[in-house]
């Protein structure tokens, strides 16, 4: 039975390819449909090839504005969450203080709690405080839920770090600031970067919490949701494809840089 | 550098360290002269590493002072002390290549052109080719040499080595011991070496301080410590000792005559660290290789004036260069005797009756109030 043998030998590869297809098929569909010229308002059926949406990505009213809002929130939320999260992670690993154990588990809560519950309770909080819903309330909410991811990523890295490394730096004439900048930070960097990337992705595509606390501000996910009620412009697929390409490019560049560094060494 | 230069002396005065109610190091005084190779020897947990870390500034002493030459450095942070450390785990910076690891100390002190110095230092430790590799790409022995180079390039007044060879296999360890000794002779810097390996301490160091439970038990040159231990811990921890309980009989000039079992043993008074009043108890010690074995049938041929004991061979193990016997004797059940395999007597097999004899000058006396087995178990643990 040559066919069975052939299958047996390549089972792992076939399973791998099928999984990859499963993961990437939605992205392919999004890309394909960004070149569609739909009849009517909905872009759900293939009609005809066209590049008109790519030539005019901001042709839909309000879409690029919402994209810019989303990007701004994502950047600020990433900065805020990464900074705070890194400091919390260092404090949790390095110092022994009262309620350390409690904080260690409480920090996981936002990850475990259903988003809709968090969204509703945040809204209640903001309303009771008399806060004006908008850019700032979205940002505060995003920093909050991104924080746990950053803490988790950085903590793992700091925990695996040999404390002797910092002692060695101090022994080799590096003061506290130099030790932090030259040794601690570079070694913790991969964890911090992972936390930051996660934060950006989570903040950029968050819908539930944002929708509750946005007031009249419209982010990109909210815009997509809103327009899906009335019809889906092809430009949404264009932005989606572009985001995917940027992410792929990002991964490829970091791989190339990593390879080159290893070769040089 | 001359012998009158004391700027590299390390002087510890009444230095001690406590953690809560636990005393890691009891207040101790220690002077390490400039240019010497000094070893702190002891089992794990004896306070040797803590002592080293207090000299480095990585640990704040609970009491006492640390002087480098004439400078009081007790309260200086590590980055302001002219002292560098080679860590047990090497602690090489994983994100920097070998060149940058070695250059780290120079760069932090604002030295501009480091290239020549770093290259020379890498040559000294024979790693010139590896300059652009990352630490994880090197073998354990190579990493160890990088750690030494990284510390030495700063020309510290004192180099501290915290079990630097602990992670290497035996063969490499022997090689690195000679290498470190060579480097020390070449650069003339004071080395303070912490180790639990008594052979390592004895082969490398000029002076060894044996530590036990946060105290220095004895300090001296390796031969001095080995030939004339003053506590049971030192006698058992450094090599092997036969310790026999005996009673002081009489004093005969410079010698003390002791009763052990039915026989008499002679001990030079100068080699007895215990009060030798008549009737008092003393532990008589003798190293296994100092003892000669003669079959009981030939007992008459043994010269006069030697200390003698009788016994029966319980076990004999041939290890090539020598044969190690365990002798069952009325005064002590397990006497160890190492005999060089020059002329082997075929009658010396388990079960044979023998006479053990040795030159009284090789006998040492210890205070019988101590634990006779102190330091024994630790040796077995480390050997395992």
At B32, the pLDDT band (50, 70, 90 cuts) reads: very high
Per-residue pLDDT at B271 exceeds 80: yes
Please count the structural domains in chain B: 2
Judge if B181 and B310 occupy the same domain.
no
pLDDT, tens only, A47-106: 888 888 888 888 888 889 999 999 999 999 999 999 999 999 999 998 888 888 898 889
In a domain, B270, yes or no: yes
CATH of the domain at B321: 2.40.50.100
The reply to whether B57 and B144 lie within a common domain is: yes
HSE, side-chain direction, 13 A CA sphere, residue B363: 27
The order of strands in the sheet holding B255-260 is: B263-268, B255-260, B242-252, B281-286, B364-367
Q: Could you give the angle at which helices A234-264 and A11-33 cross, rounded to 10 degrees?
A: 130
pLDDT tens digit sequence for B213-254:
889 999 999 999 999 999 999 999 998 999 999 989 888 888
Average pLDDT of the residues in B157-182: 88
pLDDT greater than 50 at residue B382: no
Q: Residue B71 carries which DSSP code?
A: E
Supply the pLDDT for residue B205.
93
Q: Which of B94, B105, B137 sits opposite A172 (nearest CB)?
A: B105
Q: How close A164 gets to chain B, by Cα (Å)?
A: 6
Region label for A40, one of left (φ > 0), alpha (ψ between -120 and 50) or beta (otherwise): left
**B209 and B287 co-located in one domain:** no
Chain A interface disruption, residue of B54, B81, B91, most A CBs within 10 A: B91
**Residue in A164, A186, A189 nearest the CB of B91:** A164
Contact B28, B15 (CB under 8 A): yes
Q: Are residues B177 and B122 in the same domain?
A: yes
Residue B331: per-residue pLDDT: 86
Across chain B, the runs of DSSP E, i.e. the strands, are 10-19, 22-32, 37-41, 63-68, 71-72, 83-86, 158-162, 190-195, 207-212, 215-220, 242-252, 255-260, 263-268, 281-286, 292-295, 307-318, 322-329, 332-340, 353-358, 364-367
CA distance B45 to B361: 35
Cα–Cα dist A259/A249, whole Å: 15
Task: Please give the pLDDT value at position A39.
Answer: 82
Question: Is residue A262 very low, low, confident or very high in pLDDT (cuts 50, 70, 90)?
Answer: low
Q: Are strands B190-195 and B37-41 parallel, antiparallel or unpaired?
A: parallel
Q: Are strands B10-19 and B63-68 parallel, antiparallel or unpaired?
A: antiparallel
Cα–Cα distances in angstroms (integers) from residue B99 to residues B93, B116, B148, in the given order: 11, 11, 13
Instruction: Give the pLDDT score at B5.
Output: 66
Q: How close B138 comes to chain A (CA, Å)? A: 11
pLDDT tens track for B56-79? 999 999 999 999 988 999 999 999
* CB atoms A174 and B104 under 8 Å: yes
Burial of B151: CB neighbours in 10 Å, binned 0-12, 13-18, 19+: buried
**pLDDT number for residue A153:** 93
Phi/psi region, residue B219 (left: phi>0; alpha: psi -120 to 50; beta: rest), is beta
Say whether residue B87 is in contact with chain A using an 8 A CB cutoff: yes
A216 pLDDT above the threshold of 70? yes
Domain locations in chain A as residue ranges: 2-52, 61-232
* Judgement on whether residues B71 and B200 belong to the same structural domain of the protein: yes
Domain boundary among B205, B227, B249: B227
Which residues in chain B are closer than 8 Å to A182, comparing Cβ atoms? 104, 108
pLDDT of residue B159: 94
Q: Do B206 and B252 sit in the same domain of this protein? A: no
Q: Write out chain A residues lying below 8 Å of B150, CB-based.
A: 172
Q: Do A173 and B105 touch (CB under 8 A)?
A: yes
pLDDT at B363: 93
Which residues, other chains included, contact A144 with Cβ-Cβ below 8 Å and sequence gap of 6+?
A: A110, A122
Chain B residues whose CB is inside 8 A of the A162 CB are 89, 91
Torsion angle of the four alpha carbons A122, A125, A126, A128, in this order, in degrees rounded to the nearest 10: 160
Of A171, A183, A264, the CB nearest to B93: A183
In a domain, residue B377? The reply is: yes
- The answer to whether residue B2 is domain-embedded is no
* Mean of the per-residue pLDDT values of chain B: 89
- Assess whether pLDDT exceeds 70 at residue B3: no
Measure the CA angle with vertex A160, ends A156 and A165; round to 5°: 135
Q: How many residues does chain B have?
A: 384
Average pLDDT, integer, range B198-203: 90
CA distances from A215 to A75, A140, B71, B205 (A): 20, 14, 67, 76
Q: Is pLDDT of B379 > 70? A: no
Determine the distance from the C-alpha atom of residue B171 to the mean position of all C-alpha atoms in its chain, rounded to a whole number: 19
Q: What is the distance between the alpha carbons of residues B206 and A126, in angstroms, rounded to a whole number?
A: 74
User: Are A165 and B109 in contact (CB < 8 Å)?
Assistant: no
Same domain, B215 and B250: no
Name which residue leads in pLDDT, A259 or B67.
Answer: B67
From chain B, the residues in CB contact with A96 under 8 A are none
Query: Are B218 and B206 within 8 A, CB to CB?
Result: no
The shortest CB-CB distance from B104 to any of A167, A172, A186 is to: A172
pLDDT in tens, B120-160: 999 888 888 889 999 999 988 899 999 999 999 999 999 99
Is the pLDDT assigned to residue B209 strictly greater than 90? yes
A162 → chain B, closest CA residue? B91
Instruction: Tell me which of B227, B256, B284 is where a domain ends.
Output: B227
Indicate if B200 and B246 belong to the same structural domain: no
Residue B45, domain extent: 10-227
pLDDT tier for residue A254 given thresholds of 50, 70 and 90 = confident
Given a cut of 90, whether residue B37 has pLDDT beyond it is yes
Q: Are residues B371 and B306 in the same domain?
A: yes
Claim to verify: residue B219 and residue B321 sit in the same structural domain: no
Res. B383: pLDDT tops 70: no
Q: Which residue of B has its CA nearest to A172?
A: B105
Q: Are residues B195 and B320 in the same domain?
A: no
- Contact criterion met (CB below 8 Å) for B159 and B6: no
* Burial state string for B103-128 with b = 16 or more CB within 10 A and e = fewer than 16: bbbbbbeeeeebeebbeebbebbebe
Tokens encoding A164 = 């002797």
Mean pLDDT of all residues in B107-130:
89
Give how far Cα A246 sits from Cα of A9, A253, B15, B68, B264, Å: 36, 10, 61, 59, 93
Give how far B27 is from chain A: nearest CA, Å.
24
* Residue B108 pLDDT: 93
Most B-contacting residue of A96, A157, A173, A181 (CB-CB within 10 A), to test interface? A173
Residue B234 domain flag: no
Flag whether B268 is in a domain: yes
Interface test with A, best of B55, B56, B78 (most A CBs within 10 A): B78
What average pLDDT does range B319-326 have in this prediction? Answer: 92
Residue B168: per-residue pLDDT:
82
CB-based contacts of B294, cutoff 8 Å, min separation 6: B301, B302, B354, B355, B357
Could you tell me which residues are beta bridge partners of residue B353? Answer: B312
CA distances to A44, A211, B226, B276 from A61, rounded to whole Å, are: 20, 19, 92, 106
A-chain residue closest to B56, CA distance: A171
Q: Classify residue B52: in a domain, yes or no.
A: yes
More reliable by pLDDT, B168 or B62: B62
Asked if B109 lies within 8 A of A168 by C-beta distance, the reply is: no
Measured between CA atoms, the residue of chain B closest to residue A187 is B95
In Å, how far are B268, B283, B303, B379 from B255, measured between CA atoms?
4, 15, 19, 32
CA distance A133 to A125: 11
Answer whether residue B384 shows pLDDT above 50. Answer: no
Say how many C-beta atoms besides its own lie within 10 A of residue A245's C-beta.
12
Among A164, A168, A186, pick the best mutation site for testing chain B contact (most B Cβ within 10 A). Answer: A168
Q: Quick one: B186 and B269 in the same domain? A: no
CATH of A61-232, one of 1.10.3720.10, 3.40.309.10, 3.10.129.10, 3.20.20.120: 1.10.3720.10
Residue pLDDT, tens place only, B74-97 = 999 999 999 999 999 899 999 999
pLDDT at A62: 85
Mean pLDDT, rounded, for A204-213? 93
Return all residues near B128 (Cβ < 8 A) that are at least 6 apart.
B119, B122
Does position B26 have pLDDT exceeding 90, yes or no?
A: yes
Answer yes or no: do A265 and B132 touch at CB < 8 A.
Answer: yes
């Amino acid at each position: 039975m040559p066919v069975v043998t052939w299958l047996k030998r390549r089972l792992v590869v076939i399973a791998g390819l099928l999984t990859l297809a499963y993961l990437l098929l939605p992205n392919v569909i999004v890309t394909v449909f960004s070149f569609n010229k739909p009849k009517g308002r909905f872009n759900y059926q293939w009609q005809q090839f066209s590049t008109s949406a790519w030539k005019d990505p901001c042709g839909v009213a309000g879409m690029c504005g919402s994209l810019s809002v989303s990007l701004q929130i994502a950047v600020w939320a990433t900065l805020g969450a990464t900074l705070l999260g890194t400091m919390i992670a260092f404090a949790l690993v390095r110092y022994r203080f009262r309620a350390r154990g409690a904080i260690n588990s409480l920090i996981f809560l936002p990850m475990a709690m259903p988003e809709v519950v968090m969204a509703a309770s945040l809204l209640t909080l903001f309303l009771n405080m008399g806060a004006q819903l908008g850019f700032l309330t979205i940002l505060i909410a995003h920093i909050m839920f991104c924080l746990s991811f950053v803490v988790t990523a950085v903590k793992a890295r700091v925990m695996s770090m040999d404390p002797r490394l910092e002692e060695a730096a101090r022994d080799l004439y590096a003061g506290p600031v130099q030790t932090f900048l030259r040794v601690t930070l570079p070694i913790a960097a991969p964890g911090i970067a992972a936390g930051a990337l996660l934060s950006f992705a989570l903040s950029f595509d968050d819908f539930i919490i944002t929708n509750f606390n946005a007031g009249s501000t419209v982010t990109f996910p909210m815009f997509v949701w809103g327009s899906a009620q009335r019809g889906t412009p092809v430009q949404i697929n264009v932005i989606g494809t572009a985001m995917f390409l940027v992410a792929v490019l990002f991964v490829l560049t970091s791989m190339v840089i990593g390879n080159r560094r290893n070769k040089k060494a | 550098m001359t012998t009158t230069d004391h700027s590299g002396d390390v002087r510890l005065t009444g230095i001690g360290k406590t953690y809560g109610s636990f005393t890691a190091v009891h207040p101790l005084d220690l002077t390490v002269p400039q240019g010497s190779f000094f070893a702190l020897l002891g089992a794990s947990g004896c306070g040797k590493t803590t002592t080293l870390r207090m000299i480095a500034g990585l640990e704040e002493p609970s009491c006492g002072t640390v002087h480098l030459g004439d400078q009081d450095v007790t309260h200086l942070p590590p980055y302001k002390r002219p002292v560098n450390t080679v860590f047990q785990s090497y602690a090489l910076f994983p994100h920097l290549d070998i060149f940058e690891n070695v250059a780290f100390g120079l760069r932090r002190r604002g030295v501009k052109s480091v290239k020549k110095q770093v290259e020379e230092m890498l040559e000294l430790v024979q790693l010139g080719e590896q300059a652009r590799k990352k630490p994880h790409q090197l073998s354990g022995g190579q990493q160890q040499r990088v750690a030494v180079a990284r510390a030495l390039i700063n020309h510290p007044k004192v180099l501290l080595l915290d079990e630097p060879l602990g992670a290497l296999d035996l063969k490499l360890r022997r090689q690195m011991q000679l290498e470190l000794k060579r480097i020390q002779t070449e650069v003339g810097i004071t080395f303070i070496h912490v180790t639990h390996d008594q052979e390592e301490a004895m082969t490398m160091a000029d002076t060894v301080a044996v530590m036990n439970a946060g105290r220095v038990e004895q300090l001296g040159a390796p031969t001095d410590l080995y030939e004339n231990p003053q506590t049971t811990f030192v006698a058992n921890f450094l090599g092997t000792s036969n310790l026999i309980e005996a009673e002081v009989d009489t004093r005969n000039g410079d010698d003390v005559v002791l009763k052990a079992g039915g026989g008499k043993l002679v001990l030079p008074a100068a080699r007895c660290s215990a009060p030798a009043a008549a009737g008092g108890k003393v532990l008589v010690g003798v190293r296994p290789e100092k003892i000669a074995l003669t079959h009981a049938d030939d007992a008459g041929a043994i010269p006069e004036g030697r200390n003698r004991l009788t016994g029966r061979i319980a076990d004999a193990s041939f290890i090539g260069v020598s044969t190690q016997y365990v002798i069952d004797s009325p005064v002590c059940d397990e006497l160890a005797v190492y005999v060089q395999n020059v002329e082997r007597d075929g009658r010396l097999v388990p079960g044979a009756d023998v006479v053990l004899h040795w030159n009284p000058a090789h006998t040492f006396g210890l205070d019988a109030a101590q634990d006779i087995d102190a330091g024994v178990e630790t040796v077995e643990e480390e050997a395992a």
